[in-house]
Structure 1
Amino acid sequence: MNLKQFCVSLLVLAVIGLTFTGQAKAQSKNKKPLVVFVTGDHEYSGEETLPIIAAELEKNYGMKTIVLKAYPDHNSEKNIPGLEALKDADLAVFYLRWRQLPPDQLALIEAYLKTGKPVMGFRTTTHAFNFPKGHESEKWNAFGEFALNSPPGWGGAAKHTHYGHNSSTDVTVIPEQANNPILTGVKGPFHARSWLYRVLPDYPTKGSTWLLMGKSVNPDKEAIENPVAWTGTNSFGGKVFMTTLGHPEDFRLEPFQRLVVNAIHWELGKKVPKEWKGKLDIQVPYREAK
């Protein structure tokens, strides 16, 4: 091969390389992000509300979704089949309450967290796990803190509590965050059925950004205002969106629906949609915890 032929060969290889690179970039750009919802709570019917959100993401926002549920029912604390899906997830959304998952299932959640990918949580996920003192998996009781910048479980030194089931919450946008993309179209104030969670004074963890503030209505004890939605970076370097709202009646509210859809886009690094596809009809009843 002479010099001219050699140069032509290099040019052909370069063109082929650029073509493959361009195709790979195009495929990556067109790839639908996968959102995996992990549900299992005794009280708030997350396994019914979140599939409606998931269907909306697939129908109108170009995403793929998988919804995992406790088995055989929502009160089953020791089994959520299908957590292997987290290996391919671009975002993990948790709505859990006092689970005691086996080590192999916890390992799949831990592997996801260690990737530094984004994490989203609803309400009782502040106390997602409830292992006995001294149990080999006891560290998971602090999931709320290390994954979602929230208190490390219910009660305890953090005094994580609420203001009674007969109370509800007036929600307002924190003025400094009025232009935050997650709050696009989230008109406040609005009234949520969720009874207010107390997370202050030590949570959300330092460095978190508060988005919405809640004021308890008809509290059963002296109440202070508390943040009900925030963002941040967790201990694994992953983006966080957490809300202590999540009563099934909250999902009927357009501001809350928009908050959730916006936050999912933000977590994925996608532009928050300016146009709303319309209010969802979510009619899921509340059930008393066992």
Structure 2
Amino acid sequence: MRFFAFLFSMALSFAVATANDGPLVYQGDAGVGVGKHIVFLAGDHEYRSEEALPALARIMAKHHGFKCTVLFNIDSKTGFIEPGNSNMPHTDAIADADLLVFGLRFQNFPAEQMQPIVDYLNRGGPVVGTRTSTHAFKIPKDSPFARFDHKYSGEEMKGGFGRQILGETWVSHYGKNHVMSTRLDIAPEQAGHPILRGVKNPWVESGGYWVDPMPNSVVLANAQPLESMSPDAAPAKDKTPCPGVWTRTYSGENGATGRVFTTTYGASEDLRNDGFRRLMVNGSLWAMGLEDSISADLKTDFVGPYHPTTFGFKGFRRGVKPLDMSDWDTPIMNPENPSKD
């Protein structure tokens, strides 16, 4: 009898562990997004996409009705989130995605995880790219996916995923993190763009990137590095504005055209600014062709407690599994979890 009890206990433990290793899914039930699926890829080493993207996913699901799946870099032994480790289970969820949101840096996924991303881009699916996704992939030259590398030099995809899909690859920093914040100045000629409806005073806590987007890009806001971490600070000396938010289109291998919304910002703390958060929501809707649903008073407030960690290498919350954030009111992330070893 004890033997059967032991087997039952082991089976139950396995079932619980397996369930907690599943993808994080938020299912909306009302709004323009009903019947549509957004997949978020959270896998950067520094800017806490593992916090920012589930927070954005909750907003898109709860307020606007989307099904939102959030995928993370996972330690295969523990099931805990481990940003930057090039292991992202469940990318097969991308197969029926209506939007793919990138928060990646220097990833080199195994073939079975990378192929669903490639298939999505081949069909010209809509894309949103944040911060380090300009250099989302760092892939060896002998890989069948080498063309997605941020330094790829071949003419067929020069600059890799960042340049050819998002509009720019990694160039350089343009403003010092934790010393200079960034003001996003709306381009006057684009003031009537649907993505800018209701957007006021966007400001972000991350430092700038220097970029020169592809010629077919439409710049919505220029990034002005500031002298300090205050939104009212003076512009940083010798740093003129450069593009910080833009749109473009790309073509998949089948000839289909996909809309792209890109920003070189999106650290977890950046989302605390209503103007920037609204840009992210509006940009996601626009990418899917839902711009008619964008209004100046669109709901963009956080769903549940949001505790963003100050970004930095190795500064992620330890001991967190994706499903620890599965309820609407569970914290993102629990501040009691240590952020350093």
1:50-101 alpha-carbon deviations (Å, 9 max, x no partner): 1121112111112111001111233342210010011000000010011111
Q: Distance in 2 between matches of 1:48 and 1:30?
A: 22
Distance in 1, matches of 2:108 and 2:66, equals 30
Given that 1:146 and 1:235 are in contact with CA atoms closer than 8 Å, whether structure 2 keeps it comes out as no
Secondary structure of the residue aligned to 1:32 is coil
Aligned match of 2:248 in 232, 238, 247? Answer: 232
Change (3 A) 1:227 1:128: same
Query: How many Å separate the matches in 1 of 2:270 and 2:34?
Result: 32
Q: Which moved more, 1:73-82 or 1:131-140?
A: 131-140
Q: Which structure has the larger Rg?
A: 1
Aligned to 2:43: 40
**Residue pair 1:198, 1:226 contacting (<8 A) in 2 also:** yes
SS state of the match for residue 225, structure 2? strand
CA contact (8 A) 1:41 1:74 kept: no
| 2:298 counterpart of 1:276 | yes
Query: Of residues 180, 183, 186 in structure 2, which corresponds to 1:173?
Result: 186
Match of 1:183 in 2: 196
Q: Please point out which of 97, 111, 120 is paired with 2:128.
A: 120
Q: 1:269 to 1:278 in 2, by over 3 A?
A: closer
- TM-score when normalising by structure 1: 0.80
1:85 pairs with one of 83, 88, 93: 93
1:161 matched to 2:173? The reply is yes
Alignment RMSD: 2.1
Cα deviation per residue 1:117-156 (whole Å; 9 max; x = unaligned)? 10111000001011245555332212111221112xx3xx
How many Å apart are 1:113 and its aligned residue?
0.3
Deviation at 1:162, TM superposition (A): 3.0
Cα distance in 2 for partners of 1:101, 1:172 equals: 36
CA distance in 1, matches of 2:259, 2:300: 27
1:241 aligns with 2:257: no
Structure 1 277/221 Cα, relative in aligned 2: closer, same or farther at 3 Å? closer
Q: CA–CA distance in 1 between the matches of 2:198 and 2:88?
A: 34
Whether 1:148 aligns to 2:195 is no
Return closer, same or farther for 1:60/1:31 CA change in 2, 3 Å cut-off.
closer
Identity %: 37
**Unaligned stretches of 5+ in structure 2?**
1-31, 76-80, 150-159, 228-234, 315-341
Conserved 8 A contact 2:245-2:264: yes
* TM superposition shift of 1:31: 5.2
Residue 191 of structure 1: CA displacement? Answer: 2.8
Of 55, 60, 64 in structure 2, the residue corresponding to residue 57 of structure 1 is: 60
Q: Aligned in 2, Cα 1:177/1:136: closer, same or farther, shift over 3 Å?
A: same
Deviations 1:192-248 (A, max 9, x none): 211111003xxx111111001111113998433111110010242211000011122
**Contact between 1:252 and 1:283, CA under 8 Å: does it hold in 2?**
no
TM-score where L is the length of structure 2: 0.69
Query: Post-superposition shift, 1:48?
Result: 1.5
Distance in 1 (CA, whole Å) between partners of 2:112 and 2:188 is 44
